[in-house]
Amino acid sequence: MTTPSFRDVERLSAYLDGQLSQAEKTRLKMLIQSDPALVPVLNELRQVRTLLRRTPQRRIPRNFTLTPKMAGIRPPVPRAVPALSWASAVATLLFIFTLGTNLVGQLSFGAAAPMMAAAPAGMGGGQADNTQPEYGVGGGPAATQPPVNMTVLVTPTGETYTLMVPEATPSGVTRLIETPSAQKAQHEPVNVWPFAWLGLAVLLIGAAFLVRGLNKRAFLRKNSSNRSR
């Protein structure tokens, strides 16, 4: 009886797993019959193998399914995205244009205000001849405006009119100019376009966000239902 070599143990182990060819199996059986020391080794290897196969499987602590975030998958881009990206660009341009228009409008009105305010002081103070203010459209000095003679008229109802008599007008046409407050109320233009553009820009941006949000929500809902299945 000799101590089995590792080569024999390897063969015995492979024999247990059915990994030997028919010829190798026959040779091993003959070897075992001639060397009884191999029998307990074979039995112990078989016991170990059987014990290992009986190892209880533990329960998984949780599911290992992947989420789109873990897998690095982004929600699919909706079909309307190219159009919406253009819409966003247009909306941005409109927004900037609207802001610019409003700013320019405010600047122009802001320049005209002092001139309008100066008018009654000059006219009402009885200094019409020498300190006559100059009028112009858009706030600039009216350099080409001919000098005029003015008379302030006050009606019984309290309304004030200024009678303007242009010196350079040979026909002697006179016209009535209302006081600045009344003039402002009647002639100040109401520009609706900036508001329209602003509204359009808000609508386009809102639509872009809405479509994006709905698409993401549908994607997440689909994946959450898949995970719960």
Partner 1 sequence: MNEPALIREAQRGDLEAFNCLVLAYQNTVYNTALRILTDEDLAADAAQEAFLSAFRALNSYRGGSFRAWLLRTVTNACYDELRRKQRRPTTPLEPETEDGDEVETPRWLADPTASPEEQLDQAELEHAIQHCLGNLPTEFRAVVVLADIQGLDYKEVAIAVKKPLGTIKSRLARARLRLRECLQGFRELLPAAFRLEEESSI
The site for partner 1 (CB under 8 A) is made up of 6, 9-10, 12-14, 17, 19, 29, 32, 39, 42-66, 68, 70-71, 73, 223, 226-227
- Of 19 and 108, nearer to partner 1 (C-beta) is 19
Considering the complex, what minimum distance in angstroms separates the CB of residue 22 from partner 1?
Answer: 14
Question: How far apart (Å, rounded) are the C-alpha atoms in residues 166 and 223?
Answer: 82
User: Closest by alpha carbon to 210, among 64, 95, 88?
Assistant: 88
Considering the complex, what minimum distance in angstroms separates the CB of residue 205 from partner 1?
Answer: 32
- Of 59 and 187, nearer to partner 1 (C-beta) is 59
Three-class secondary structure assignment of 169-229: CCCCCCEEEECHHHHHHHHCCCCCHHHHHHHHHHHHHHHHHHHHHHHHHHHHHHHHHHHHC
Question: How far apart (Å, rounded) are the C-alpha atoms in residues 38 and 1?
Answer: 9
- Of 41 and 164, nearer to partner 1 (C-beta) is 41
- Of 10 and 159, nearer to partner 1 (C-beta) is 10
Alpha carbon distances (Å) from 6 to 49, 64, 115: 17, 41, 113
- Of 40 and 141, nearer to partner 1 (C-beta) is 40
Considering the complex, what minimum distance in angstroms separates the CB of residue 33 from partner 1?
Answer: 9
Considering the complex, what minimum distance in angstroms separates the CB of residue 29 from partner 1?
Answer: 6
Considering the complex, what minimum distance in angstroms separates the CB of residue 196 from partner 1?
Answer: 45
Considering the complex, what minimum distance in angstroms separates the CB of residue 49 from partner 1?
Answer: 6
Q: 147 and 119 in contact (C-beta within 8 Å)? A: no
Alpha carbon distances (Å) from 173 to 99, 159, 177, 209: 43, 22, 13, 62
- Of 71 and 192, nearer to partner 1 (C-beta) is 71
